[in-house]
Amino acid sequence: MELTIYLAGEIHSDWRAKLKDQASSLPYTLHFTGPMENHSRSDDIGEEILGKQPNAIFKDDAASAFNNLRTQVLMQKSDLVIALFGEQYKQWNTAMDASAALTMNKPLILIRPEKLHHALKELSRKATVTVETPEQALKAVSYIFETE
């Protein structure tokens, strides 16, 4: 059995690379996908496809359309979504992606530090599982593969 996992969350740290590295030693196959991690490319994709926009608001709107398309397609093809809420960055995109996963009826592992418990309590109750670290999320995925 193989799983495809959409990794939702901030793109400013290396949490995905660390999780993928840890997963590479597991005795089963996990495929990972997620948002565009190149921040400049994500911000500029609308103009790259549609051409120069009249102002920053239109530029953001154009980029959002293509980023939403990417998220929707890749998330729909995923078996599971892991959404990381970190403490350092604003987490609007993570909240949107976690909500999209729930709307698509995708199993959702929500990673949120204890510090964010209150702010994310409703979303946490909707998630399939809530953990505090990426390592715990990977252990939850590993449990899926256990036979005994």
What is the rounded CA–CA span in Å between residue 47 and residue 143?
Answer: 43
What is the rounded CA–CA span in Å between residue 140 and residue 143?
Answer: 5
User: What is the second-level CATH architecture of the domain 3-37+79-144?
Assistant: 3-Layer(aba) Sandwich (3.40)
Predicted confidence pLDDT, tens digits, the chain (148 residues) = 899 999 998 888 899 999 999 999 999 999 999 999 999 999 999 999 999 999 999 999 999 999 999 999 999 999 999 999 987 766 788 999 999 999 999 999 999 988 988 889 999 999 999 999 999 999 999 999 998 7
| Overall pTM > 0.85 | yes
Is residue 65 exposed (0-12), middle (13-18) or buried (19+ Cβ within 10 Å)?
A: middle
Is residue 127 exposed (0-12), middle (13-18) or buried (19+ Cβ within 10 Å)?
A: buried
* Residue 138 phi, psi (nearest 5): -65, -35
Asked whether the CA dihedral 15, 17, 23, 29 is positive or negative, the reply is: positive
Q: Where are the domains of the chain?
A: 3-37+79-144
